[in-house]
Amino acid sequence: GFGGGFDDLGDIFESMFGGGFGGFSGGGRRNPNGPARGNDLKQSITITFEEAAFGVTKEIKVNREEECTKCGGSGARSKDDVETCTRCSGSGRVVEVQNTILGRVQTQTVCPECSGKGKRIKHKCDSCNGRGAVNKAKTIEVKVPAGIDDGQQIRLSGQGEAGRNGGPSGDLYVAFRVKSHDFFVRDGFDLRCEVPITYSQAVLGAEIEVPTLTGKVVLKVPEGTQPGTEFRVRDKGIKYINRDLNGDLYVKVKLIVPKKVSSKQRELLSEFDALEDKTGSIWDKVKKAFK
């Protein structure tokens, strides 16, 4: 269609001129000798459930580019080893004239001789082999804040790769994998767990001990507690990051029915069964279904 024709024309122009048409592409004009920010780095570490809950200090090893201390980032053995590029006279760019179907077109491109730096190095620095930067393994201390969760990351400002020509360093992003816990399941800043109760405890009520991340608490299960009931224990969850506030612990009671009973238990339960009240809405519903 009509619009399609214009798109096609656009494609042709793009493929003809690419990024070489200096006046149009802003990115290509950046001074290669100017300050440039270092690259960001990303590293992930695995921590335990408790370390995530309470915070921890960890050491991580990163390999990062740092400015070569021997040449100060110039890449040259000495100051005298830096000379102006003869091909581009130090501008870093060369102008080429091309004959195209549209006539003669001047194209400005990055100088192939000096890769746009405008300089050439006669003798390269021994330490960095002319790169101006060296790869170093560095141990960094990471303060993991209490409350961090699986999949979250923190940014360590300026701990990434060194900037070039006096530019700032990049940042280091540390992503966390948090191991699961055998007993607690994390739900945001709340914790969930399941504790067993017997039929007698559910019927009569009981005080049961429940573990938390900071020691045990006594949970009062009231008389007539139904299976699967969830109780909230305030402030026994995970600490909110950078806040003086804790999530809660939700304790679900799981009714355990014994698969075996002793003869004494059998005797008592049979006696109990004879006294059990089997009336009520659910019993009635079943009775009606038999009709």
41, 47, 68, 174: residue in contact with Zn ion (rule CB under 5 A): 68
Minimum Å gap between C-beta 132 and Zn ion is: 6
**Distance (Å, whole) CA 259 – CA 269:** 14
Residue with tokens 């990062």, as numbered in its chain: 64
Which residues are within 8 A (CB) of 287 and not within 5 positions of it... i.e. 6 or more apart?
none
Q: Which is nearer to Zn ion, 44 or 115 (CB)?
A: 115
Q: Which of 37, 42, 58, 87 lies at the binding interface for Zn ion (CB under 5 A)?
A: 87
Q: Say if residues 242 and 184 touch (Cβ distance below 8 Å).
A: no
When asked if residue 88 is in the footprint of Zn ion (CB under 5 A), the reply is yes
Residues 207-226 close enough to bind Zn ion by CB under 5 A: none
CA distances from 158 to 41, 115, 129, 173, 260 (A): 10, 27, 25, 10, 64
Q: Rule CB under 5 A: say whether 71 interacts with Zn ion.
A: yes
Q: Is 85 in the site for Zn ion (CB under 5 A)?
A: yes
Residue 111, interface with Zn ion (CB under 5 A)?
yes
By CB under 5 A, residue 70 contacts Zn ion: yes
Residues 120-149 within binding reach of Zn ion (CB under 5 A): 125, 127-128
Beta strands 230-233 and 41-47, pairing class: unpaired
As measured in angstroms, the least distance from the Cβ of 67 to Zn ion is 8
Segment near Zn ion (CB under 5 A); pick from 17-25, 112-120, 170-178, 239-247: 112-120
Nearest CA-CA partner of 251 in 236, 239, 269, 241: 236
Give residues 13-42 in contact with Zn ion (rule: CB under 5 A). none
Pairing of strands 190-197, 249-255: parallel
| Residue whose CB is less far from Zn ion, 73 or 147 | 73
Residue 58 touches Zn ion, criterion: CB under 5 A: no
Q: List the one residue out of 239, 257, 207 whose CA is nearest residue 52.
A: 239
Closer to Zn ion at the Cβ: 66 or 190?
66
d(CA 256, CA 205): 15
Interface contacts to Zn ion, rule CB under 5 A: 68, 70-71, 85, 87-88, 111, 113-114, 125, 127-128
